[in-house]
């Protein structure tokens, strides 16, 4: 099955940024480059590209930042090992799409790259309930360069699969976002990305 249009990035949370970077370098053969800090979420990140407009974001708690009142973003404060936790979908009309799918208020974000460049975006509330991350949050980069263009390429995303105990409910939420995706029934929610890399075809979970 073809990948759904508009996949922006996959989020892999890790207990530390070093652990996440090492895990991806070991699996894909490409070392993620530091991206910057997210003071609103208490995290920092590193990135590799998986296509011209798709990337993998390694995110972890930033020990130099205070923990936000709502907790460390993307569940990064609760993982014991690097794992995929959610994904982002590009949206040209983010307010309408977030409202239709009940994804919370749209907010603005920014981060400063190590080279001093500022990236700005809008996103739906990443803390909103989204079937434990199986349903994506929304993002709009506006006039900022897409991060995939600024990161080393680790391969190509060739397949992306979703698991959840309530597949019918998740499919309905996805339908509200204009997505027609298969969802496999499983005891626990989960994401599986298949990447064609220099190291061969690799599954990330």
Could you tell me if residue 171 is inside a domain? no
> Domain of 141?
7-153
At 42-81, the pLDDT tens digits run 999 999 999 999 999 999 999 999 999 999 999 999 999 9
Could you tell me if residue 198 is inside a domain? no
Give the pLDDT of residue 172: 96
> What CATH number has the domain bearing residue 108?
3.10.180.10
At 89-120, the pLDDT tens digits run 999 999 999 999 999 999 999 888 888 888 89
Could you tell me if residue 202 is inside a domain? no
CB count within 10 Å of CB 101 equals 25
CB count within 10 Å of CB 119 equals 18
N residues, the chain: 205
Number of structural domains in the chain: 1
Distance CA 24, CA 2 (A): 24
Give the pLDDT of residue 1: 59
Cβ-contact 36, 108 below 8 angstroms: no
- What pTM did the predictor assign? 0.96
Cβ-contact 14, 75 below 8 angstroms: no
């Amino acid at each position: 099955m073809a990948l759904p249009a508009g996949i922006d990035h996959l989020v892999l949370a890790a207990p530390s940024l070093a652990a996440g970077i090492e895990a991806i370098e070991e699996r894909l053969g490409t070392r993620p480059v530091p991206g910057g800090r997210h003071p609103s979420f208490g995290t920092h990140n590193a990135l590799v590209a998986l296509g011209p407009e798709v990337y993998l974001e390694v995110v972890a708690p930033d020990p130099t930042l205070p923990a936000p009142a709502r907790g460390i973003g993307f569940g990064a404060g609760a993982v014991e090992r690097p794992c995929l936790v959610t994904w982002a979908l590009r949206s040209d009309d983010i307010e309408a799409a977030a409202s239709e799918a009940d994804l919370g208020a749209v907010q603005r974000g920014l981060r400063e790259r190590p080279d001093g460049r500022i990236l700005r975006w809008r996103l739906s509330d990443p803390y909103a309930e989204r079937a434990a991350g199986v349903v994506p949050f929304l993002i709009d980069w506006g006039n900022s360069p897409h991060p995939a263009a600024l990161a080393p390429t680790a391969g190509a995303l060739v397949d992306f699969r979703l698991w959840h105990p309530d597949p019918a409910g998740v499919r309905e939420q996805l339908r509200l976002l204009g997505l027609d995706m298969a969802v496999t029934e499983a005891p626990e929610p989960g994401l599986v990305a298949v990447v064609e890399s220099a190291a061969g075809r690799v599954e990330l979970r």
